[in-house]
Amino acid sequence: MEVKVLSYTQNPEVTCAVAMRSTRTREPAHKLIEREWRTKCDLPNFTYENRCRSLETHMQCPHFSFCAVRLLKNAKKMNHWGVFEHATFTVSVSGVSRALTHQLVRHRLASYSQQSQRQVKIDTNEDWYIKPPSIKDGQRFDMLMGEIAKCYQKYVDDGVPEEDARFVLPNACKTNIVITANAREWFHMFKLRTDEQSQWEIRRMFQQILEELMMISPLIFEGIIFGEKS
């Protein structure tokens, strides 16, 4: 499985923080964004862990009104989730099973573009399926996949269109997908799908995406409760 961030809203943390601030002041967001915004707390004793300090400490800070750290923390605390809809992130995922994407697309507030089995012929000479780690009897599994591959290939060679030949393909079949969602929806999907109740492959994918997005926007994505690592 490969996960790559394709693109995202410019300055996602400041964009969301400006949106938050604009709900609490007469100044419009397009003026607010021209201010000197802070995405790190530079008060004495600052560390990554304690950057969300108490309100009293923050009030003494000269950057109080334009501190994205404080504003985003407060937005989460008061369930002001709409603020996080102003930043979107687009991620490309490859080499996951159709079993995974079937679960993924149930999250209807995200947008998807998935490799088509109607238009793209599966190359069964390549590594074309996922074998779950719980299947210890790998040989039998591989043999079955080999039989399916032969059958699929024969149908295609005999002129059956890919859209019909694919009916023999399994859930294990690899696919690629592009996902776009706003930060609020990512947050929601991370909560559901990094939980240990979730299926191992989708959990692994969301853990990888979360790690990528955390590097881009720690202020937005901090506070996700990670399920058990798979």
Give the shortest CB-106-to-ligand FAD separation in angstroms.
4
Quick note: the x/- pattern for ligand FAD over 170-189, rule CB under 6 A, is ------------------x-
Binding of residue 109 to ligand FAD (CB under 6 A): yes
Which CB atom, from 66 or from 206, has the smaller least distance to ligand FAD? Answer: 206
Give dist(CA 43, CA 40) in Å, integer. Answer: 9
Give dist(CA 65, CA 198) in Å, integer. Answer: 40
| Of positions 45, 62, 79, 108, contacts ligand FAD by CB under 6 A | 108
- Which of the stretches 24-32, 35-43, 105-113, 119-127 binds ligand FAD when contact is defined by CB under 6 A? 105-113
Binding of residue 191 to ligand FAD (CB under 6 A): no
Active-site residue, selected from the candidate residues 38, 98, 193, 203: 193
Give dist(CA 230, CA 198) in Å, integer. Answer: 10
- Which of the stretches 65-73, 100-108, 135-143, 147-155 binds ligand FAD when contact is defined by CB under 6 A? 100-108
Which CB atom, from 80 or from 107, has the smaller least distance to ligand FAD? Answer: 107
| Residue nearest ligand FAD by beta-carbon distance | 108
Give the shortest CB-18-to-ligand FAD separation in angstroms.
26
Interface with ligand FAD (CB under 6 A), residue total 8
Give the shortest CB-112-to-ligand FAD separation in angstroms.
12
Residue listed under structure tokens 């862990």? 49
Instruction: State both tokens at 172.
Output: 């294990």
Which residues 50-89 are close enough to bind ligand FAD by CB under 6 A?
none
Quick note: the x/- pattern for ligand FAD over 192-221, rule CB under 6 A, is x----xx-----------------------
Task: Mark whether 193 is an active-site residue.
Answer: yes
Q: How many CB atoms lie within 10 A of CB 21?
A: 24
Show which residues are catalytic: 193
Q: Enumerate binding residues for ligand FAD (CB under 6 A).
A: 106-109, 188, 192, 197-198
